[in-house]
Structure 1
C-alpha cells in the first residue's frame, strides 16, 4: 500500500495555507485533514467537508510544484 496525501494549497484560502498532510491510509489522512480544516481554517467537521477532502486525496508523494487553487 502506498502513501496518500492532501495538499492544502489546492483549496482556496485567505491565508494561502501551504500544509501538505501525508498518511499511509485514507482513514488516517481524512481524520488529520479534517482536524486541520477545523483547527486552522475554522470549518465544521461535517460529512460534506469530509467528502470534499476525500475528493482531494492523491496517491503517492506530493511534487515540488504547487497545485493550482480551486476556484
Structure 2
C-alpha cells in the first residue's frame, strides 16, 4: 500500500472515530436532559403551588379587613 493510500485510510478512520465520539456525546447529553425532565416538572409544580399560596389572603389579613 502506498503512502498516499494509507494516509487516506487513516483520515477516513479518524473521521469515523470523530463522528462516533460526537454522536456518543450527543446521546449522553440527551439522556441527561431526559432524566432531568421529571425534576423540572416537579420544580415547576412546586413554584406554581407557592404562587397560589402567596396569592391567597391569610386569616390575619381577613380579620384586619373586617375591622
More strand as a share of residues: 1
Work out which structure has the larger RCO, using CA pairs closer than 8 Å and 6 or more positions apart in sequence: 1
The verdict on a shared fold, with TM-score over 0.5 as the criterion, is no
TM-score (norm 2): 0.26
More helix as a share of residues: 2
TM-score (norm 1): 0.24
Return the index of the structure with the highest Cα Rg: 2
